[in-house]
């Protein structure tokens, strides 16, 4: 293991990109909701560096409301074929408009339309009602670029904790932790 958690993550993430059959960048994002209730969902990591881990979505969704009220989250990457997982915890901030605009422009057109059509996390009367909203958004932006909705952006999680888990036969797993102490990372091990 490296003494820098970002270096270690980079190596494992690259290997997962070569070996996982689908979406090596898929991660569980756990947030703290109303009354301290946890909520988790799968999102895709879209960028990362030593400044943090970036993902995108609807600010008016449950996750958006959770992170606005409680700006901390946990990420979990699980690469079953490699018998590895990485847990990352830290504080969350919304990305700037330029970052959100740049990423939104790279999304497939129907994903851009979907951002306008979906009132994410709110009750939906029927699938037909959603399909009507999709058609309306397609009509509104026919022949022009689809702009990013103001309620669609991204977040950057700045980690203060990493855990690297390597599966080993007979549940004799290896778990290495990195905890930020000031500007340095302190390493440790956990029993499996």
Give the pair of three-digit tokens for residue 32: 């703290």
Rounded distance between C-alpha atoms, residue 166 and residue 12, angstroms: 10
Nearest alpha-carbon partner for 190 in 177, 178, 181, 180:
177
Contacts of 2 (CB under 8 A, 6+ apart): 8, 11
189 counts as catalytic: no
Rounded distance between C-alpha atoms, residue 51 and residue 187, angstroms: 19
| Strands 72-79 and 26-32, bridge-based pairing | antiparallel
Q: Considering the candidates 107, 171, 175, 189, report the single residue annotated as catalytic.
A: 171
Rounded distance between C-alpha atoms, residue 75 and residue 43, angstroms: 9
Active site residues: 171
């Amino acid at each position: 293991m490296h003494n820098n958690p970002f270096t270690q993550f980079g190596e494992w993430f690259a290997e997962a990109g070569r070996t996982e059959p689908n979406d090596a960048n898929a991660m569980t994002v756990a947030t703290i909701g109303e009354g301290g209730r946890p909520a988790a969902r799968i999102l895709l990591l879209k960028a990362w560096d030593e400044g943090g881990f970036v993902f995108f979505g609807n600010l008016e969704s449950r996750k958006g409301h959770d992170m606005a009220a409680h700006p901390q989250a946990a990420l979990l990457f699980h690469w079953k074929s490699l018998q590895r997982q990485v847990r990352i915890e830290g504080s969350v901030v919304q990305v700037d408009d330029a970052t959100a605009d740049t990423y939104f422009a790279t999304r497939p057109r129907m994903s851009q339309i979907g951002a306008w059509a979906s009132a994410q996390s709110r009750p939906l009367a029927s699938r037909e009602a959603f399909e009507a909203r999709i058609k309306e958004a397609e009509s509104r932006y026919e022949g022009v670029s689809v702009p990013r909705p103001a309620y669609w952006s991204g977040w950057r999680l700045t980690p203060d904790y990493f855990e690297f888990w390597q599966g080993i036969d007979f549940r004799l797993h290896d778990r290495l932790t990195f905890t930020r102490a000031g500007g340095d990372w302190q390493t440790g091990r956990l029993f499996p």
